[in-house]
């Protein structure tokens, strides 16, 4: 049974594979719910090493991928074929699968024209850093743009440092908000996030409820 901690609903799984399969199933349900009434559904996915198993599970599911637009929570400012590119990682993960029919939308054009962003995403999946950052929204840096454009330029503490991220409010503009995390340190962070972190803002209950898929 999931456990509610403050405003988080934490689903605990025995390992990363079990968490990935369960989250892929939840994402399929979220996308199908939107496609029942809308012609297209936007799916927002994270980068990094943790979601690799999720991509394998998700991209194998029999979704109507041609009706889905995939973008990323944040992007490192590198070429798309660079191993550090989040969108590039997604593109490589879906090769040879039906999911290759989904449109991939890089963030940079959305920064130039935020009107291309939908009013609401079908689902957003976040990762979590041990400093409490989500996407490329870091403690001590802006999480929103002054003009409300929806994308934030950030400076990461590690290379590649130059990043582009959906803002906190844009990440919360979704029908379903998920977070995938593993390990005891991140579990402790989820239960007591420092007040100056984006995670704490999510934990405070702003926007949709946050469903956490956690594994040891």
pLDDT in tens, 20-65: 999 999 999 999 999 999 999 999 999 999 999 999 999 999 999 9
| Nearest Cα residue to 74 out of 20, 134, 120, 128 | 134
- Which is more confident, 125 or 114? 125
**With the C-alpha atoms ordered 42, 47, 51, 54, is the resulting torsion angle positive or negative?**
positive
Residue 52 token pair: 């690799």
Whether 153 shows a pLDDT value over 80: the answer reads yes
The model scores a pTM over 0.85: yes
Cα–chain-centroid distance for residue 162?
18
Residues contacting 45, CB < 8 A, separation 6+: 51, 54, 55, 70, 71, 72, 73, 86, 90, 125
Whether 208 shows a pLDDT value over 80: the answer reads no
Whether 206 shows a pLDDT value over 60: the answer reads no
Query: Which of the following CATH numbers is that of domain 3-215: 2.70.98.40, 3.30.70.260, 3.40.50.1360, 3.40.50.720?
Result: 3.40.50.1360
**3-class SS of residue 160:** coil
CA 216 to CA 212: how far, in whole Å?
13
Domain spans in the chain, listed from the N-terminal domain onward: 3-215
**3-class SS of residue 188:** helix
Whether 205 shows a pLDDT value over 80: the answer reads no
Whether 14 shows a pLDDT value over 70: the answer reads yes
């Amino acid at each position: 049974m999931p456990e509610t901690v403050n405003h988080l609903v934490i689903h605990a799984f025995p390992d990363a594979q079990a968490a990935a399969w369960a989250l892929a199933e939840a994402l399929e349900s979220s996308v199908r719910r939107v496609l029942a009434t809308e012609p297209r559904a936007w799916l927002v996915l994270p980068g990094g090493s943790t979601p690799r198993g999720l991509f394998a599970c998700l991209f194998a599911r029999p979704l109507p991928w041609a009706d889905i637009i995939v973008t990323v929570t944040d992007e490192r400012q590198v070429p798309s074929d660079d191993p550090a590119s989040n969108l590039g990682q997604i593109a490589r993960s879906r090769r040879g699968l039906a999911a290759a029919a989904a449109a991939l939308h890089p963030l940079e054009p959305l920064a130039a024209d935020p009107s291309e962003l939908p009013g609401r995403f079908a689902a957003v999946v976040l990762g979590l850093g041990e400093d409490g950052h989500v996407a490329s929204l870091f403690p001590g840096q802006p999480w929103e743009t002054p003009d409300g454009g929806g994308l934030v330029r950030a400076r990461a503490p590690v290379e590649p440092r130059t990043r582009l991220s959906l803002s906190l409010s844009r990440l919360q503009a979704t029908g379903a908000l998920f977070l995938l995390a593993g390990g005891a340190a991140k579990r402790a962070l989820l239960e007591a996030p420092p007040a100056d972190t984006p995670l704490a803002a999510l934990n405070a209950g702003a926007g949709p409820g946050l469903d956490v898929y956690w594994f040891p």
